[in-house]
Copies of this chain bind each other. A is one copy, B any other.
Amino acid sequence: MNFSALIEETMPLPQRVVWNGAVERFHRTFPKGSEIVHQGEHPRAVRVVRSGWLARYRQLEDGRRQIVALHLPGDLCDLDAFSRMRAEHSLVALRTSVVAELPRHALGHLIASCPALGPVMAFSEIDGMATQREWLTSLGQRNAAERVAHLFCELLVRQSGEVRPGAGECEFFLTQSQLAEACGLTQVHINRTIQLLRRSYGVDLGKSRLHIADFARLAELAMFNPAYLNIDGSEGRHDFALFAHAAMSAGESAWPLSPARLGAAS
């Protein structure tokens, strides 16, 4: 369950109206290949992907690149804009994309007028962390075929919103080089790995489309367990609700820190 879906499901209607209005006011379109954020620049905004695909990557001084995240429609990103002075990653559009760029001040107002916003953003960040950790185990423990298979499974599930898609097809906008940068492999080796998956696992990677004949089998190869994606929020959100309720019952204004203290600290 991505950020936008969570907003729709849990945020009270009046807030949702405010939120969606704001988001649309800050829409911006980026052509395929354009850099939305450049590593090192001063972060200006928090972003919501409205359509398209984005890749976030970190570049080392000697040029090596690692794609550290893929952002699909509905995802929230760049939340760290508020605790950091420079972006540590670049953000690039993998295809023509529409992105809502919420500048600092606007987001400040929004958080104030939509009390549910802060928590939902926080929870969305927690979900993002889970994906990061799964990628980390991929790079650390899985071999080439498993890594690619795992990524394919993840992207199919994230797009379909179903935990077990059976057979499935979905859009796919990564070149083999980009796939390589995401998996920590060479473009050449990615190519050979894909051929293997094609031959022996019924995976078909065509023009902007990924087709998986037997999802269960691919998932088994990849040791893919969709739990980390927190897709069927129903289970998880049960406790989320408990938590929020407990907080609410006693609670007062919560999200912002005391400006006085902050002034003193800085």
Contacts and interface: CB of A to CB of B under 8 A. Distances in A.
Contact of A132 (B116, B118, B133): B133
A22 to B, nearest CB: 13
Interface string A67-78: 011000000000
How often does this chain occur in the complex, in copies?
2
B266 A245 contact: no
Interface string A82-109: 1111101100000000000000110111
Contacts of A66: 136-137, 140-141
B140 A223 contact: no
Interface string A246-261: 1111111111111111
A234 interface: yes
Contacts of A141: 60, 64-66, 184
A119 B68 CA distance: 25
Contacts of A239: 81-85, 104
A236 interface: yes
B137 A140 contact: no
B86 A261 contact: no
Contact of A10 (B82, B115, B120, B265): B265
A111 B255 CA distance: 10
A155 B228 CA distance: 27
A241 interface: yes
A256 B259 contact: no
B139 A80 contact: no
Given A230-B83, A241-B265, A253 B256 contact: no
Contact of A122 (B122, B139, B236, B253): B122
Interface of A: 9-12, 58, 60-62, 64-66, 68-69, 79-86, 88-89, 104-105, 107-109, 111-113, 115-123, 125-130, 132-137, 139-142, 181, 183-184, 223, 227-228, 230, 234-263, 265-266
